[in-house]
Chains A and B, each alone.
Chain A
Amino acid sequence: MKIRIWGARGSIPAPGPRTARYGGNTSCVQVTLSDGSVLVLDAGSGIRDLGPTCADAERIHILLTHLHLDHIQGLLFFAPFFQPETKIVIWGPPSPGRSLRDRIARYLSAPLSPIEIRSLPAKVSFRECPADEWEIGPARIRAAPVSHRGPTLGFRISEGAASLCYLPDHEPALGVPLADGDPAWISGFALAERCSLLLHDCQYTDEEYPARVGWGHSRLSDTLLFARRSEAERVLLFHHDPLHTDAELDLLQRRAGEHWVALGGPPGELAMAIEGSEIQLRADGARHADDPRLARS
């Protein structure tokens, strides 16, 4: 499974020279399976740059963790939507009220959008993620609701011995003692448990978090504690705050590395997510050389 980060920023795109190194696009991660199947995790602004690279794909699966704007704002700018022969399946969280299509149509309709879903040339279908594991190509997909504001899913994608856990917007420490709490009561724990790679929300520093408790995002120390408790093999810190410059993320990375080692984390297995970087997870569990752009702690 090949994983490419097309957007690692949270909340709102943050373009400009002060964020160029880590990237300013909002959440979007491409997962390419061993048979060539393409999964797209979230449709933040990063999906715009992904579009032209999958022009030849006959079918694309877009898995949305939730429908906050920073996770769907790129939908209309995804080039394959304008290819009549392309089949696009959009998966997302179920809701007791309106269908997934209707909820997304609130954004892809007037007055917010000049084009409506029914006008998209591609063959687009919508599916609410089932509670049970399902398969896409050679991968098994597991979705589960996690602690964030509004209906929000986390995903675990497994192919052979390789597993990716994607929790971009997640506040598992809200009212729960992460250090010694029963894992069954920690949001997202089973999704992340012993995964090969965990992409996890790390929007805030520990100093910023007290004024933002309950906003649905994690501080550095909680992210690292969650990663250690769940025994994730490797960790990418994700959903960078739009106010954090490259210099501030460099500092966060240094602090993360120190904290990670203090928690007993294996050196070299923690890194900041960087737009444009790639990681390969082999189905037999063996390791590939890393993308040199990943600044590992």
Chain B
Amino acid sequence: MAIATEQKPIELILARSLLDSLSTPGCLIDLEGTLVYYNEAVGKLAGISFEETGAMPTAQWSETFGPFDEQGRRIPFDEHPLTLAVRDGRAGHYVQRFRSADGNDFQVAVSAIPLVGTTGFEGALVFFWPARSQ
């Protein structure tokens, strides 16, 4: 019998389990930039739960949530400092603005960590923290 399921990498499966156990807002981005999961704490920030949105391709979540710079300009995913850092195998930290599903803008600090499995780069684990003024 043929295999029909496109299995997620074990690194993403285990990271999702971790996120489910955390009160810290966190999400998972896969190799293609798809938002494959976010936890309940992110759902509170974003004003919409993962159960409601499901996985979102880059264009869709960028259009919905941002991110935006301090001048309110949308930051393209491929040019985002965190995307560049993670694709380079580094962790990154950045303060930016997001827009919730109900249209409220808010500032948040974001940490992104590359997930590298035994077969290579699988995506990124992203955490959100309250932004502190410098």
Contacts and interface: CB of A to CB of B under 8 A. Distances in A.
A144 interface: yes
Interface of A: 93-96, 131, 144-147, 151, 156, 161, 163, 174-176, 183-187, 189-191, 193-196, 233
A213 to B, nearest CB: 11
Contacts of B118: 93-96, 145, 151
Contact of B7 (A93, A144, A175, A233): A144
A1 to B, nearest CB: 14
B60 to A, nearest CB: 18
Contact of A145 (B3, B4, B10, B17): B10
A175 B21 contact: yes
B8 A184 contact: yes
Contacts of B8: 184-185
Contact of A190 (B6, B20, B117): B6
Nearest to B15: A175
Interface residues of B, number: 23
B19 to A, nearest CB: 9
A31 B67 CA distance: 53
A237 to B, nearest CB: 21
Nearest to A232: B1
B13 interface: yes
Contacts of A184: 5-8
B14 A194 contact: no
Nearest to A154: B10
Residue among B1, B11, B119 with the highest chain A CB neighbour number at 10 A:
B1
A163 B1 contact: yes
Contacts of A94: 118-119
Nearest to A161: B1
Contact of B5 (A146, A174, A190): A190
Contacts, number: 64
A189 B7 CA distance: 7
A195 B1 contact: yes
B14 A147 contact: yes
A143 to B, nearest CB: 11
A146 B10 contact: yes
B77 to A, nearest CB: 23
A112 B33 CA distance: 47
A174 B20 CA distance: 11
Contacts of A146: 10
B9 interface: yes
Contacts of A196: 1
Interface string B94-134: 00000000000000000000001111000000000000000
B13 A194 contact: no
10 contacts: A95-B118, A96-B116, A144-B10, A145-B11, A147-B10, A156-B3, A175-B18, A184-B8, A186-B13, A194-B2
B16 interface: yes
Contacts of A190: 3, 5-7
Contact of B3 (A174, A175, A193, A233): A193
Residue among A146, A175, A186, A233 with the highest chain B CB neighbour number at 10 A:
A175
Contacts of B7: 144, 184, 189-191
Contacts of A193: 1, 3-5
A194 B16 contact: no
Nearest to A146: B10
A250 to B, nearest CB: 32
Contacts of B2: 194
Contact of B17 (A93, A131, A151, A175): A175
Contacts of A185: 8, 12-13, 16
Given A93-B118, A189-B7, A174 B1 contact: no
Nearest to B20: A175
A7 B47 CA distance: 53
The 8 closest A-B pairs by CB, nearest first: A175-B17, A194-B1, A190-B7, A145-B10, A94-B118, A131-B119, A190-B5, A183-B5
